[in-house]
Amino acid sequence: MKILGIDTSTHSTSVCVIEDEKLICEYTVNTKKTHSQKLMVMIESMIKESDLNIKDIDSIAICIGPGSFTGLRISMATAKAIAQVRNLPIIAVNSLESLAFNMNLCDKIICPILDAQRNQVYTGKYKFENGEFKTIEDIKVIEIESLIEELSNKDEDFILVGEATILYKEKLEPVENIYVASASNNVSKASSLCAIGAMKYHKDMDVYNCYTVNPMYIRKSQAEVQYEEKIKRLENDK
């Protein structure tokens, strides 16, 4: 089974194709170009360089968030369009479990963090036990200081992975039981997304079609928050 993976939940754009347990091709670009500028070009180039045709794809693994609202909409629209034309199943994977899977040989508790703005992060906790990937704690939004305090008071070691580790590097480095993943593992990878997607597909978990899959929005977008604040101010001024 060939799976096309698409992840635009963070600053990076990542796409790949895997066949069973074989990685055929993966492109990851972490530049200032927008996802809309990069995504389709990358998919088309990857398919061509892999000597494949879009008709060869059997399913799509999509990162549903949390993350960039605009990025999620772009990848979701792209996945839905391809799935609708080809009548393909879409496997939903959240961005934190995908990041955690970058550390699949790690024996520590893995704590992915993504910027949620306003000094907050999206986070969760995951672990590999006897080769099985397990969710220890579901996704939440928390202030970075509160997360650091929570982890530092534990008797366990944690490895943090994700873009927010760069943002909060100075706050994380002094904590003795917190380790930060290398640069190569801190970026979202479609190959990790597809690996989890394949596991979910075979367990018939989180498998949707182009009409039923949706992004995961943990909180309102900044534009929505600002709009609501504006409405409140106008009502108070009446």
The closest alpha carbon to 8, from 42, 29, 35, 34, belongs to 35
SS3 of the chain: the string is: CEEEEEECCCCCEEEEEEECCEEEEEEEECCCCCHHHHHHHHHHHHHHHCCCCHHHCCEEEEECCCCCHHHHHHHHHHHHHHHHHHCCCEEEECHHHHHHHHHCCCCCEEEEEEEEECCEEEEEEEEEECCEEEEEEEEEEEEHHHHHHHHHCCCCCEEEECCHHHHCHHHHCCCCCEEECCCCCCCCCHHHHHHHHHHHHHCCCCEECCCCCCCCCCCCCHHHHHHHHHHHHHHHHC
Residue 21 confidence (pLDDT): 87
Residue 210 confidence (pLDDT): 97
Q: Which residues of the chain have pLDDT under 50?
A: 224-225, 227-228
pLDDT tens digits, 96-120: 999 999 999 899 999 999 999 999 9
Residue 105 confidence (pLDDT): 87
The closest alpha carbon to 71, from 45, 48, 39, belongs to 39
Which amino acid, residue 188?
A: S
Residue 170 confidence (pLDDT): 96
Q: Give the span between the Cα atoms of 72 and 119, in whole angstroms.
A: 21
Contact 93, 197 (CB under 8 A): yes
Residue 228 confidence (pLDDT): 47
Looking only at the bridges linking them, the beta strands covering 59-63 and 207-208 are unpaired
pLDDT tens digits, 186-202: 999 999 999 999 999 99
Residue 227 confidence (pLDDT): 44
